[in-house]
Structure 1
């Protein structure tokens, strides 16, 4: 739907072209050399250029990047509760926020390992000003939350965002992740901003908002 073009991630039909465009970028080389230290550049570039979907990019490349992060910087990752979620079912995840990219990457790693629907994830457009970062975000199924707007523009943007979240959850069977407040929590005080919940409800056309 064209109304979401300004904020949506890539469609699968756009993935291959985007990967061709950034295959030779120095930051892509750094990411791939970190993820696949024993693989020659021409090999991973060839595989990138054969990739035609977000899922394939996430599962074959980004998943390996996460495994390297966990291997090098921690004792691994433990999870609980995912066994209570239903396969092939979309969920809205509203969580605290510690790292710009790792929050959702780790969540999607857990969802992938449990055979569950991975998320489309909100990211502030202020974090992806550089062309490469914006492309990488859209390759990872991030959608943009527009920042720095006037109150009137913010209202319109929030409604569009809400409608897009509803479109993903209710019509595309795609799970969604969004932070419980703008920015990362730096004091450990994890409280959900009521404005986030109000924004989610703006896309509803139901008479009872709480039912939505």
Structure 2
């Protein structure tokens, strides 16, 4: 439902944006920008805002792009780290990625809630670097890892400079090693349909000795191949 620009609620949204020097045409709205503490829930209930996290939402008539979702998570990812794992999957496929993080909310009957990123943002940093400072462990799950050429990719957005996330191939590799159960199958299908070579991912996994989750990843990929011919 597009936002009625003449409605009292629309005027209120424009007003609270203006009072905090936020562009009323902006695609993202931060909960802290709404001076009326009831406005957040009300605007979501009326489907004028679509929650992307517990504190960031997109304006309902804005395009739901990977770049927009990356910016919604960026404030929780410290400098020197990149968004990865289930959070990177969510950036590319919100409906699929949200299911990888846990239970679907009770409000899942409302279509917009299926886009929400639940839980801390998963961020990765290179093994050779000092651990970045995290403002809140409630908002960011930080893990040290090893990267190789091609593991990182920029996600472009009209909201600012491009943001670094793990590449589709590296995201699939990480998902295989950290996500248990059949929930990952939909993600594997989506990545495969978009050109990720699962055979190459399997070969890389098999060559990575002492990699946490390696055996689980190999077994999961074998199960996926079995069920998908």
Higher relative contact order (CA 8 A, sep 6+): 1
Higher helix share: 1
Structure with higher Rg: it is 2
Settle same-fold status: TM greater than 0.5. Answer: no
- Report the TM-score, using the length of structure 1 for normalisation: 0.28
More strand by share: 2
